[in-house]
Amino acid sequence: MDDLLADFLREADQRAAEAQAALGRLRAGGAHGPAGRGALALIRRHLHGIKGIAGCLGLPRMERLAHLAEDALAGPAPSADALDQAAQALTGIARAATGLAAALPPPAAAFPLPAFTVSAPGLPSAHGGDAARVSDAWGALPILARQLAGRLGKRVALTLEGGETPLSRAALPPLREALAQMLRNAIDHGIEPPAERRAAGKPEVGALRVSARAVPGAALIEVADDGSGLALDRIRAEAAALGLGTPAALAAMADADAAQLVFSPGLSTAARPGLISGRGVGLDAAASGLAEIGGRAEAISTPGRGCLFVLTLPAPAPGIKVRDDVLDGALAV
């Protein structure tokens, strides 16, 4: 747990610094135009990521500060006062991360792993730090699932499979963010409360499975739940409100295509924003982060039976090896 917390605190500090830099760009150039919209989207993405994991790790101050900053930046063109409020919240997040990190015990000595090198055409030799596996990105998921299910009064069985699947280390941050967001989406929006599941003839405990496997040229990661599936009618209505299409065109759209609208910026089916979701940022941020490294995300929904997110990431360069200790397992929460 200490290692997980330390990783998050380092990431939160870095995210806060990047968001502060983007705030500076917003002050200089405004929120209009591609540069301004990109800076605002980056800030919202960092705040959403910090808030989601902080809440599940039991860090209410950081969660609340991120939520306050999201509130301040909710409009399309935040005022100077709103930018000041967001900057103060980001400063508080950075200070909290620094203080908590300083209070952590020093890391225990780790058993040294054999060094290995990367020898691929066109790539410099490098030590094993450049290699990774999918399980390096999902260490937080059992804790996130337990905390979130508890907060929402739901019961969830989480299964992790294929943790040995090789992955480029550069893919870890966006994959970690995508998995956390899709887990939150599944537990918050997909998996029903126990009474509702009983009424539908389902087990009280919802099933949530994260699996990975290597395919030619890529790593394929699936996040599947047996909940209610995507609310496609509400997604179509929200898409129309956002100007993503006319109501008639969206109604005629195939369900498989309508499911992909969940990755649209600003789209949310929540009645109002809350600490867990409702900003229309999370899935958009997850898909955008994967796209930055050449990956992609796809949503597949079956009404009443569940939702499947399929993530495709570039395979690591030839010659990269990973450790053979694997983190798989099942957890009931």
pLDDT tens, position by position, 176-227: 889 988 998 999 989 999 999 999 999 999 999 999 999 998 999 999 999 9
Q: Give me the CATH number covering residue 73.
A: 1.20.120.160
Note whether residue 108 is domain-resident.
Answer: no
Q: What is the mean pLDDT of residues 46-61?
A: 83
Give the per-residue pLDDT at 107.
58
Query: Do 279 and 163 share a structural domain?
Result: yes
Q: Which helix (H) or strand (E) holds 218?
A: strand 218-225
Residues 94 and 145 in one domain: no
Element (H, E) at 310: strand 306-314
Q: What is the pLDDT of residue 1?
A: 57
Token pair, residue 93, equals 């997040």
- 204 and 300 belong to one structural domain: yes
Whether 265 contacts 284, CB under 8 Å? yes
pLDDT number for residue 318? 59
Q: State pLDDT tens for residues 76-113.
A: 788 899 999 999 999 999 999 999 999 988 755 444 33
Three-state DSSP at 209 gives: strand
Say which CATH number the domain at 135 has: 3.30.565.10
Question: Both 53 and 174 in a single domain?
Answer: no
Mean pLDDT, the chain, rounded, equals 83
Confidence check: pLDDT of 127 > 70: no
| DSSP element (H, E) containing 307 | strand 306-314
Mean per-residue pLDDT for 283-294? 90
Q: Is the pLDDT of residue 149 over 50?
A: yes
- In the predicted model, what is the mean pLDDT of residues 120-132? 42
Q: Outline where 57-190 has alpha helix (H).
A: 60-72, 80-103, 141-152, 172-185
Provide mean pLDDT across the span 224-245: 94
Domain co-membership, 133 together with 262: yes
Do the domain assignments include residue 50?
yes
Q: Strands 156-161 and 206-215: what pairing? A: parallel
**Helix, strand, coil percentages, rounded to 5, for the chain:** 50, 15, 35
Q: Report residue 125's pLDDT band, with 50, 70 and 90 as the boundaries.
A: very low
Residues 217 and 89 in one domain: no
Q: pLDDT at position 325, please?
A: 45
Domain count, the chain: 2
Is 218 part of a structural domain of the chain?
Answer: yes
The share of the chain scoring above pLDDT 90, in percent, equals 49
Structural domain includes residue 114: no
Q: What percent of the chain has pLDDT over 70?
A: 83
As given in the structure block, the two tokens for residue 108 are 């225990």
Whether residue 96 is found in the same domain as residue 146: no
Q: Is residue 119 part of a domain?
A: no
Please check whether residues 88 and 141 belong to one and the same domain. no
Q: Whole-angstrom Cα distance, residue 263 to residue 162?
A: 25
The answer to whether position 198 is within a domain reads yes
> Picking from 107-121, 136-150, 198-212, 302-316, which range would have the lowest pLDDT averaged per residue?
107-121
The mean pLDDT value for 281-285 works out to 80
Task: Assess whether pLDDT exceeds 90 at residue 290.
Answer: yes
For 61, list phi and psi in degrees, rounded to 5. -65, -45
pLDDT reported for residue 123: 27
pLDDT at 151 over 80: yes
Residues 86 and 144 in one domain: no
Average pLDDT of the residues in 227-243: 93
Residue 74 lies in domain: 2-103
Q: Per the domain annotation, does 267 fall within a domain?
A: yes
Residues 285, 162, single domain; the answer is yes
Claim to verify: residue 42 and residue 166 sit in the same structural domain: no
Residue at which a domain ends, from 68, 103, 138: 103
Give the pLDDT confidence score for residue 104 in this predicted structure: 86
Q: Which token pair is 70?
A: 């999201």
- The pLDDT value recorded for residue 277 is 55
Indicate the range of 1-10, 38-47, 174-183, 284-293 predicted with least confidence.
1-10
pLDDT at 321 over 70: no
Let me know: does 265 contact 280? Beta carbons within 8 Å: yes
Residue 7 has pLDDT above 80, yes or no: yes
Are 141 and 20 found together in one domain?
no
DSSP state of 264: S
Please check whether residue 62 lies inside any domain of the structure: yes
CA 53/CA 184 separation, integer angstroms: 10
Global pTM value: 0.74
Q: In this structure, which amino acid lies at residue 304?
A: G
pLDDT beyond 70 at 293: yes
What pLDDT is recorded for position 215?
92
φ and ψ at residue 175, rounded to 5 degrees: -70, -40
